[in-house]
Amino acid sequence: MKIEILFPEFCNLYGDLANMDYLRRCLPQAEFVETSRTAVPLFVSERPALIYLGSMTESAQEKVIRALRPYRQRLLELIEDGAVVLATGNSLEVFGQCIENEDGSKIEGLGIFPTTARRRMFKRYNGLVLGRFEGMKIVGFKSQFSDSVGDVSAYPFIEVIRGRGLYEGCPFEGLKWNNFMGTYLLGPFLVMNPPFTQYLMRLISAEEFALPFQEVAMRAYEDRVREFEDPRRKVHL
């Protein structure tokens, strides 16, 4: 089993690569392939069990889009065919139509989703999110300068219970198409949500896996769910 981590030299904002550190502990038998920006991605010639892209700075987004653009059709074909892709933080924005700056200029995205990411660099949103996916509670943090807007009704990922969705008023957080899952949520996402991590490992057909520190991880997750459910807990920080 191969798991591809795209552009780790750029995509570790907020410590997002801890998602893959956690998976390494869950799947010690798996081969983790780190693809740099100047290398040809593994997914071009093979079909990894999982393709991962983490958070990055705004300036890195354009570099990542340029690096992926030559392989856009292959990536689209994989997603259409059910390949498992996880994008956390603002990495989901590179899969949209464009990223729009405050001055009106635009950075063309990969065009896989009908979204426009609108940057508001002086209006950072920091907050908590409690949601639901496949019957499990999802928790996470947000710290973002942009919202992904557009006709996203066909791509719901996490149903929002408390907090903010893809944009103000959106009833769900993130984007999902087949087995592509993209979310703004940080934490790191997999570390904060062990039930989802188990779901992900079953999705990639991992025959043998174990959550490291499972008892502690589940207790921390359950405590966080209770905290986020408490109406006295502010969700906008």
Q: In this predicted structure, what is the pLDDT of residue 224?
A: 97
- Locate the domains of the chain by residue range: 2-229
- pLDDT < 70 stretches in the chain: none
Q: Please, what is the Cα angle at 185 between 92 and 52, to 5 degrees?
A: 50
Q: In this predicted structure, what is the pLDDT of residue 237?
A: 78
The dotted CATH code for 2-229 is 3.40.50.880
Say how far apart CA 133 and CA 158 lie, in whole Å: 5
Helix locations, 35-71, DSSP H: 58-68
Q: In this predicted structure, what is the pLDDT of residue 208?
A: 72
Are residues 172 and 192 in contact, defined by beta-carbon separation less than 8 angstroms? no
Say how far apart CA 167 and CA 153 lie, in whole Å: 12
CA dihedral of residues 176, 182, 188, 192 (deg, nearest 10): -10
pLDDT, tens digit, 9 for 90 and up, residues 126-184: 999 999 999 999 999 999 889 999 999 999 999 999 999 999 999 999 999 999 999 99
Q: In this predicted structure, what is the pLDDT of residue 151?
A: 92
Which residues face 94 on adjacent strands?
none
Say how far apart CA 194 and CA 84 lie, in whole Å: 18
| pTM for the full predicted model | 0.96
DSSP 163-189: S--SSTT-SEEEEEETTEEEE--BS-H
